[in-house]
Amino acid sequence: MPEIKNYSINFGPQHPAAHGVLRLILEMDGEVIEKADPHIGLLHRGTEKLAESKPYNQSIGYMDRLDYVSMMSNEHGYVLAIEKLLGIAPPKRAQYIRVLFDELTRIRNHLMWIGAHALDCGAMAVFLYAFREREELMDMYEAVSGARMHATYYRPGGVYRDLPEKMPQYDKSKYRSKSRLKKINKNRQGGLLDFIEDFAIRFPGLIDEYETLLTDNRIWKQRTVGIGVVDADRAKALGFTGPMLRGSGVAWDLRKTQPYEVYDELDFQIPVGKSGDCYDRYLVRVNEMRESTKIIRQCIDWLRQNPGPVMVEDHKIAPPSRVDMKESMEAMIHHFKLFSEGYTVPEGEAYAAIEHPKGEFGVYMISDGANKPFRVKIRPPGFVHLSAMDEMSKGHMLADVVALIGTMDVVFGEIDR
């Protein structure tokens, strides 16, 4: 008689639901998962090591590429750690801009997540609707930094530049009719803030669209309710952060518990789930998008009323303006030193963490007093979540593994680093 045994299946790294390069070795009894063994490292680019060999500012770009769907949030963690070591604080306006873009990034991340999660569970439309809005968020990135994805916009001591007064518009083209051109340029007549405000006003209605397709959908609920349940204590023990932790009913959000930048001046709430399953995490994230919209509108109001500098005046850290460089020798020297040697950071160590869209994103940095960090350690939220894969998927079916990958919102840039 032949021996009956479980068989293993190689889920990824080339798999449409692997969210990049996840390789899961699944041991299965028919369709039921007995063991899930995530293998990581296929996207390892040595970010931490690379940062050791470059002046501080030159590594900001690497941080964008960690979690490549929420770029500015990664920069924020890194920049905060440097600022902590330097003992400086950016001007208020820069802090508001950072919060504004953190929340835009949160929406951008959650849009990617809701699309991918729904697509993993078979609902195609949400993905494309989410990307429609994501396009506008990319335009905001582009308007403010020149890059649609990897912005490198946050700098120690502030942000790279102030928000543009004029939003770039679409050009005439033979593929676009005049009326179409007028329509797509309609919300680009003013500055970037007007563009963002227009988005923030429309966005809650667009969230309703996604919710119409998913929230009360019986199939969606069957696919997510009771899947991957993690209770509050277990979630804490596993080191969950962000929506994964809040979905289990723990009201822990660094924006509230350890407010950084200007979060303590803003009015917002943190959604918390009850049962800790995929459906609750879905509701938490959807409500987070609504809260983010609220924060964005508060930031817009403040930024409209309070013009001012967006970078510290200390030219040992922040470059002087280009106009000054044409006339002032000192400014010229500052610029040259800053862009060749960088700045030195006093000896010491610091840990700075922010509430990244996926959870707690922390950077632990040791400086030996040189112009390069001695060591940078990145604490990515996704890594911790992924390590709970085995526990969460045990006893579920193959299709649930896909839903779990979706609900964890894993991105391999940050997990493999």
Partner 1 sequence: MMEGLGVLIWTLVKILAVLLPLLGCVAYLTLAERKVLGYMHARIGPNQVGPKGLLQPIADAVKLMFKELILPSDANKFLFVLAPVLSIAPALVAWSVIPFGDGLVLADINAGLLFLLAMTSIGVYGVIIAGWASNSKYALLGAIRSAAQIISYELAMGFCLVGVLMMSKSLNISDIVQNQAGHAGNWYWLPLFPLFITYFISGVAETNRAPFDVAEGESEIVAGFHVEYSGMGFAVFFLAEYANMILISALCAIMFLGGWYSPFPETWDYIGAGGVHWLAIKTSILLFFMIWFRASFPRYRYDQIMRLGWKILIPVTLVWIFVMGFAIAINKSPALEMTVLAILFIVGLISVIISPKGKFGIANRHYANHSTATVEQEQGK
Please report where in the chains the tokens 């090591």 appear, as a residue: 49
Residue closer to partner 1 by CB (options 153, 260) is 260
Q: Residue 384 corresponds to which tokens in the numbers above?
A: 């911790």
Inter-CA distances, 8 with 26, 28, 125, 353, Å: 5, 6, 32, 38
Q: Give 276 or 320: the residue with its C-beta nearer to partner 1.
A: 276
Closer to partner 1 by Cβ: residue 154 or 282? 282
Find the part of the chain contacting partner 1 (CB under 8 A) among 180-188, 196-204, 328-336, 391-399: 391-399
Tell me which of 269, 308, 330, 341 binds partner 1, using CB under 8 A: 269
- Per CB under 8 A, does 370 bind partner 1? no
Q: Is residue 325 near partner 1 by the rule CB under 8 A?
A: no
CB of 78 to partner 1, least distance (A): 24
| Total binding residues toward partner 1, as defined by CB under 8 A | 54
When binding is defined by CB under 8 A, the residue of 222, 231, 304, 346 that contacts partner 1 is: 222
Binding residue for partner 1, selected from 56, 220, 383, 412, defined by CB under 8 A: 220
Are 393 and 35 in contact by the 8 Å Cβ rule? The answer is: no
* Residue 371 in contact with partner 1, rule: CB under 8 A: no
DSSP string across 169-236: -PPP-TTS-HHHHHHHTGGGSS-HHHHHHHHHHHHHHHHHHHHHHHTT-HHHHHHHTTSS---HHHHH
| Residue 187: CB minimum distance to partner 1, A | 17
Residue 262 found at the interface with partner 1 (CB under 8 A): no
> Between 16 and 55, how does the x/- string for binding to partner 1 read (CB under 8 A)?
xx-------------x------------------------
Question: How far apart (Å, rounded) are the C-alpha atoms in residues 168 and 187?
Answer: 11
**CA dist., res. 22 & res. 412, Å (int):** 7
Contact (CB, 8 A) for 303 and 257: no
Residue 246: burial class (beta carbons within 10 Å; 0-12, 13-18, 19+): buried
Interface residues for partner 1 in 119-148 (CB under 8 A)?
Answer: 119-125, 128-129, 132
Per-residue contact flags (x/-) with partner 1 for residues 396 to 415, judged by CB under 8 A: -xxxx-x-------------
Using rule CB under 8 A, residue 298 touches partner 1: no
Shortest reach from residue 382's CB to partner 1, in Å: 19
Q: Which residues contact 109 (CB under 8 A, 6 or more apart)?
A: 67, 69, 70, 73, 357, 358, 409
Q: Sheet containing 375-379: which strands, arranged edge to edge?
A: 348-356, 359-367, 375-379
Rounded CA gap, 288 and 245, in Å? 13
Q: Does 216 bind partner 1 (CB under 8 A)?
A: yes
How far is it, in rounded angstroms, from Cα 243 to Cα 410?
12
- Paired tokens of 169: 């518009």
Residue 275 contacts partner 1 per CB under 8 A: yes
Residue 213 binding partner 1, by CB under 8 A: yes
Query: Is the CB of 15 or the CB of 54 nearer to partner 1?
Result: 15
Binder of partner 1 out of 225, 229, 332, 370 (CB under 8 A): 225
**DSSP per-residue string spanning 11-32:** E-SS-TTSTTT-EEEEEEETTE
For residue 259, whether the previous peptide bond is cis, meaning omega lies within 30 degrees of 0, is no
Binding residues vs partner 1 (CB under 8 A)? 7, 9-10, 15-17, 31, 118-125, 128-129, 132, 213-217, 219-223, 225, 251, 253, 256-259, 264, 269-275, 277, 279-280, 283-284, 287, 397-400, 402
